[in-house]
Amino acid sequence: MSAEAMASVGVVDLTPAAEAGDVLRASDGRPVQLPPSAVRYTTSRHLLREVEIVDWAQETNS
């Protein structure tokens, strides 16, 4: 079920892309993977709604 949801067209990955040469390291210097809490997803519909709210707020404050 979750694989189907993640594969849908409306899912947007918000996890920042790693740049070339980026390595996340622990305090002792060993390389580590991103923690699960660093991975974020949303939907295109939700992002559109956020843009509409920001636009509305900017118009209201003008």
User: pTM score, two decimals?
Assistant: 0.54
Predicted pLDDT at 18: 65
Distance (Å, whole) CA 25 – CA 23: 6
In the block, residue with structure tokens 């918000």: 14
Distance (Å, whole) CA 39 – CA 15: 5
Predicted pLDDT at 1: 53
Dihedrals phi, psi of 55, to nearest 5 degrees: -60, -45
Per-10-residue mean pLDDT of the chain, 62 residues long, equals: 74 75 73 72 91 94 79
